Amino acid sequence: MIPTASNDWRIGLIGYGEVGRILAEDLRAQGLAVCAHDVKLDGDAAPALRAHAAAHGVQLLASHADVAATSHLIISAVTASQAVAVAQACAAAVQPSAFFLDLNSASPGAKIQAAALIDAAGGRYVEGAVMTSVPPYRIKVPLLLGGSHATALAPAVNALGFEAKVASDQLGVASATKMCRSVMIKGLEAMVIESFTAARAYGVEDAVVTSLQETFPGIDWEQQAAYFFQRAIEHGRRRSEEVREVAATVREAGLTPWSASGTAERQAWVADLADAGVFGPKGTPGFARSADWRTEADRILAATRDGKA
């Protein structure tokens, strides 16, 4: 039986990456019971994940089903390509009337598939669309909810510290809002990396930045470019998967996703360079933290000359 008060809920996290760990920290700070599972618990990242969980009092479980079986609210925050698979794994053990909050950046079609699995098993699926980067806002990141159970979940999660509002009782509206925004946001990242790196190669980067500053005076292009490079280097793999879901969303609307598809390729390309060590060892303090985007652009250009890119 689901407790009436949400502060009595047991929260289950599927995915213990950046978003999962931030939510775990903020939920545990309120004294809530939190458990989690991540497929990386069987890989090289396991020691760091286990250390974080131990430090914050998060119980790590062996499978998606184990989390679902003991949670009143399941929060799925994995890579976009795994959204439906996670819902399927959790559906096998979800408690009757438990909420399943899907925060994954998946297309409306994928969210509808996931919802069918959870609802058929007796759970209550709610799609969630995270509308900006999580780290600056943490649990209070702007969040759109959708689906027939969204209105029931919104006040409960807001009582836990979330900043959620209901976009629609129709599945797909919240995720479509997120995905269409991502055509622009993730596309800007890819375009800045391509434009600024090429400009650096030709020695015209200062002129390009000055021209952009004149055209769009509200944006600090030096600072914004540094941030875009950082995020793509650190999260390019996840972003490329997300933008492939963006492309699927555009395709579901009947359009050819030329921009989204190109963005996904550029993000994946940066991720490949990061995996090859072009930007330094992952996990070190300086990785993806250059204050000047030129440092990273020069690394890309050097990799291109060396045949690594």
What are the chain's domains? 6-170 (3.40.50.720), 175-305 (1.10.1040.10)
pLDDT at 285: 78
Q: Using an 8 Å Cβ cutoff, are 90 and 67 in contact? A: yes
> Per the structure block, which two tokens stand in for 128?
């969630």
Of the candidates 171, 168, 138, 136, the one whose C-alpha atom is nearest the C-alpha of residue 154 is 168
A 10 A CB-CB count for 96 gives 10
Residues 126 and 99: beta-carbon distance below 8 Å: yes
Structural contact between residues 36 and 90, judged by C-beta atoms closer than 8 angstroms: no
Q: Give the span between the Cα atoms of 11 and 1, in whole angstroms.
A: 14
Contacts of 179 (CB under 8 A, 6+ apart): 105, 107, 108, 245, 246, 249, 250
Distance in angstroms (rounded) separating the CA atoms of residues 159 and 142:
15
What pLDDT score does 45 carry?
87
Q: What is the pLDDT of residue 306?
A: 81
CA distance 41 to 116: 28
Q: What is the mean pLDDT of each run of 10 residues along the chain (309 residues)?
A: 88 96 97 96 91 97 97 95 95 97 94 97 97 93 97 97 97 95 95 98 98 97 96 92 94 96 97 94 84 96 85
Q: What is the DSSP letter of 284?
A: S
Contact between 126 and 154 (Cβ < 8 Å): no
φ, ψ for residue 60 (rounded to 5)?
A: -90, 130
Enumerate residues 6+ apart whose C-beta is below 8 A from 170.
Answer: 146, 147
- Residue whose token pair is 């020069």: 298
